Amino acid sequence: MLITALKTPHELRLAVPTFWPERLMWENFAEVFRKIPFWRYFANTAIQTVGIVVLQINVALMAAYAFAKGSFPGRDKLFLLVLAALIVPDQVTFVPVYVMMADLNWLNTFYALIVPHAASAYGIFLLRQTFRSIHNDVIEAAKVDGANRLQVLYRILTPMALPTVATLVVISFINSWNSYFWPLVMTNSNDMRVLTVGIAMMRDSIAGDEMLNFHYLMAASIIVIIPIILLFVFAQKYIIAAMSNSTFK
C-alpha cells in the first residue's frame, strides 16, 4: 500500500496522459482555463509569492546584519524576541490580524497576503548564523574604503552569503506558493484567490459529480506543481544542505 502511495506523485504527473487518451488530455487543460479564471489565480499566486520573497529576504538581510555585526544596547535580548516568534504559528495570530486587516480595509488585497509575512524569524536566524561566520576585517576594510552600512550589506556580505540567501529564496518561495490557510482567511472574492484556494473551491463546487471533473482538477494541479518541481530540481542541493545544517545547530 505504501509503495503505491510512494509512487503516485511520480505517477500523478504521468498518470493523466496514460489514464486518458492524449487528445483528450489537452482538452482538459483548455477546459480548466474555461471553468475557472486560472491565469488570474496564477497571477495572484505569483504576485503574492514574489512580494513575500522580496520583502522577507530584504528585511531578513538587514536584521541579520544588525544582529550579527551591529552593536546597540539590548541586541542579544531583542534577538531572543525574534527567535521566540518561531514558535508562533499563523493559526494563533490570524484572528486579530484579520480584524486588523479589516480595519485597514486591506482584506481582499495583496497587502493582507504579503505584509503580515514580511519578517521571517527563520530567515533572520539563518542569515545571522552565516553573517557571524564572516570575518570582521572584511567589513572594516570596506568601511575604511568609505562604504556605508547598506553598501557593506548588499555589496559585500550578501554575495558572500549567497548560498544561504539562495536557500532562503527557495524555501520562502515554496512556502508562499503553497500557502493555503492565510489566503483562505484573508480573501473571499474570486478575483483575489490564489491557486491553492481556487482549486480547493473548484473541488467544492463540483463535489456532487466529483469523478466527472476529477481530470480537470488533476490538470490544474499539474500546472500548480510545475514551478515547484522546476525549483526543486535546480535548488535541491541548497535545500538539503540547509536543512541538514539547521538540524545540527
Partner 1 sequence: MTGTEGPGAATNIKRRPKAWEYMKDFAFALPALAMLLIFIYYPLVNSFYLSFTNWNMTRPNKEFIGLDNYEKLLTGDTFYKVLGITFTYTVFDVLLTLGIGLMLALLFNVTSRFFNFMRSVIFMPHYISMVIVSMVFLWIFNSQYGLMNELLKFLGLEPVDWLTNPKTALWVLIVVSVWKGVGFAMIIFIAGLRGIPLEYYEASSIDGASKWTQFRKITLPLLSPITLFLVVTNFISSMQVFQSVDVMTNGGPLESTKAMVYWIYEMAFAEFRTGRASALIIMFFIMIVLLTVLQMYVSRKKSITKGRFISKCLHP
Q: Which amino acid is at 135?
A: H
Tracing cell 547598506 back to the chain, one arrives at 150
End-to-end CA, the chain: 36
- Shortest Cβ distance from residue 20 to partner 1 (Å)? 13
Of residues 34, 43, 50, 140, which one binds partner 1 by CB under 8 A? 140
**What would the x/- binding string for partner 1 be over residues 21 to 50, using CB under 8 A?**
------------------------------
- Shortest Cβ distance from residue 27 to partner 1 (Å)? 19
Question: Could you give the 3-state DSSP secondary structure of residue 120?
Answer: coil
- Reference 49, options 200, 195, 223, 210; nearest CA is 195
Size of the site for partner 1 (CB under 8 A): 85
- Asked if 247 is part of the footprint of partner 1 (rule: CB under 8 A), the reply reads yes
- Shortest Cβ distance from residue 244 to partner 1 (Å)? 4
Q: Which amino acid is at 243?
A: M
For residue 228, how many C-alpha atoms fall within 13 Å in the half-sphere facing its CB?
A: 17
- Asked if 189 is part of the footprint of partner 1 (rule: CB under 8 A), the reply reads no
CA angle 238, 52, 130 (to 5 degrees): 40
- Shortest Cβ distance from residue 147 to partner 1 (Å)? 12
Question: Could you give the 3-state DSSP secondary structure of residue 71?
Answer: coil
- Is 124 within 8 Å of 64 (Cβ atoms)? yes
**What would the x/- binding string for partner 1 be over residues 78 to 117, using CB under 8 A?**
x--xx--x-xxx-xxxxxxx-xx--------------xxx
> What's the burial of 165, exposed, middle or buried (CB within 10 Å: 0-12/13-18/19+)?
buried
- Asked if 144 is part of the footprint of partner 1 (rule: CB under 8 A), the reply reads yes
- Shortest Cβ distance from residue 34 to partner 1 (Å)? 19
Of residues 121, 147, 166, 206, which one binds partner 1 by CB under 8 A? 121
Under rule CB under 8 A, which residues in 165-184 are in contact with partner 1? 174, 177-178, 180-181, 184
Beta carbon nearer to partner 1, 140 or 191: 140
Cell output for 61: 538581510
- Asked if 225 is part of the footprint of partner 1 (rule: CB under 8 A), the reply reads yes
Under rule CB under 8 A, which residues in 145-164 are in contact with partner 1? 149, 153
CA angle 120, 100, 198 (to 5 degrees): 70
- Shortest Cβ distance from residue 87 to partner 1 (Å)? 5
